[in-house]
């Protein structure tokens, strides 16, 4: 099964990934460009955007900073499990 076809791990990560992707699109960046700004590999970013990988606090901060936004804008109001 290709990665795109795999389901998100849970509703929280699905919604977080959608926000990350939406912010990346606002910036007009490819996954490769965004991952470079964030400082992670683009395959890692792809997994985050698809809700297939959770992130620890340290990486949430890197993702927010790399996408020129805040952790709060990416996390506040997300559905809990």
Q: What residues line the site for a copy of itself (CB under 8 A)?
A: 10, 12-13, 16, 54-58, 60-62, 65, 70-73, 75-76, 78, 80-81
User: Is the distance from CB of 3 to CB of 46 less than 8 angstroms?
Assistant: yes
Give the residue with the Cβ less far from a copy of itself, 43 or 70.
Answer: 70
CB of 38 to a copy of itself, least distance (A): 11
CB of 31 to a copy of itself, least distance (A): 19
User: Is the distance from CB of 57 to CB of 46 less than 8 angstroms?
Assistant: no
Q: Name every residue whose Cβ is closer than 8 Å to that of residue 56 and which is 6 or more positions away in sequence.
A: none
């Amino acid at each position: 099964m290709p990665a795109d076809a795999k389901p998100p791990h849970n509703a929280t990560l699905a919604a977080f990934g959608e926000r990350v992707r939406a912010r990346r699109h606002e910036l007009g960046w490819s996954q490769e460009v965004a991952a470079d700004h964030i400082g992670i590999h683009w395959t890692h970013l792809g997994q985050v955007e698809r809700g297939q990988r959770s992130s620890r606090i340290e990486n949430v901060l890197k993702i927010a900073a790399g996408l020129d936004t805040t952790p709060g804008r990416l996390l506040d109001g997300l559905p809990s499990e």
